Chains A and B, each alone.
Chain A
Amino acid sequence: MAKEHWIWRCDRTIPSDTGAGRAVLCELLGQLQACCWPEHDVFDVHLATEEALVNAIKHGNRFAPDRCVRIRCHLADDLIRIEITDEGEGFDPSEIPNPTEPDRLESPGGRGVMLMKSFMSRVEYNTRGNRVVLEKARGKDADAPRNGDPAD
């Protein structure tokens, strides 16, 4: 992979509080808008990061006040990378059932990881499953099929 020229970075450690996560997300989206990223891409990054933050705070740290979430962001002209690490036990994303299967379609939850994979260019978990890296390439995906869009 070519070495990226980062034009903005942030490294924040927040408590297990979704409001604190959204403050960082708001800052990140502001950077994308300041760099004139397409509205569609900003929406995608917003959705995926929102889902990843909720997963980290709610399912990873279980809202524990003594656990933190670390959010690292790197922005280049044509790429945004967001790394979110919680202090939970982790999980195996491959064990999450497909929420589009007929017997899962009416389940009220279980769509977050699928949406992250669909709306981002790359989603990768560490082995323990408590850290996720999200990447979005600017513009390139605008007209392409979504990564997680299952074939009919």
Chain B
Amino acid sequence: MAEYRRLEINEVGDVTVVRFRDKKIIEDINIQELGQEMFRLIEEDNRNKLLLNFSSVDFLSSAALGKLITLDKKSKAHGGVLKLTNIRPEIFEVFTITKLDRLFDIKDDEADALADF
């Protein structure tokens, strides 16, 4: 299996649960690497059910939002399903202000999200 420096990968049934190693997703070089690793999950590993768990993330910039949007496009292009969960309130507010809560399927916790695949 490919190595992931920015992500922690777990399988729950046929769903790939992704956690982030960085508490703060800010640095441009880290965001680029993070994007490449997330895209690889879809494009090379052919994982079509992805659950991104943000429980360890306490800050992210708008550049990170851009990577999530690209990931969502790639997921849809591959016929996949992408869900987000465990987003802390301040970050969730970023999603609501930008209306990205309408683009992404966001659940409160991992159990809710897994049950919804």
Contact = CB atoms under 8 A, between A and B. Distances in A.
A112 to B, nearest CB: 5
A100 B96 CA distance: 10
A105 B66 contact: no
Interface string A22-47: 10000000000000000010011011
Contacts, number: 55
B107 to A, nearest CB: 20
Contacts of A108: 65-67, 69-70
A47 B61 contact: yes
A87 to B, nearest CB: 20
A44 B91 CA distance: 10
A35 to B, nearest CB: 19
A114 B97 contact: yes
Nearest to A58: B28
A148 B99 CA distance: 12
Given A107-B69, A108-B69, A47 B94 contact: yes
Interface string A137-152: 0000000001011100
A19 B63 CA distance: 15
Contacts of B108: none
A115 B91 CA distance: 11
A18 interface: yes
Contact of B61 (A50, A100, A114): A50
A40 B90 contact: yes
- Counting chain B residues whose Cβ lies within 8 A of the other chain, the interface size class is 20 to 34
B53 to A, nearest CB: 20
A108 B69 CA distance: 6
A18 B69 contact: no
Given A22-B26, A108-B69, A47 B59 contact: yes
Nearest to B58: A43
B59 A105 contact: no
A18 B66 contact: no
B97 A118 contact: yes
A51 interface: yes
A112 B60 CA distance: 12
B99 A105 contact: yes
Given A44-B90, A51-B61, 11 more contacts: A40-B90, A99-B98, A100-B98, A105-B99, A108-B69, A109-B66, A111-B62, A111-B98, A114-B98, A115-B98, A146-B97
Interface of B: 26-28, 59, 61-63, 65-67, 69-70, 72-73, 90, 93-94, 96-100, 102-103
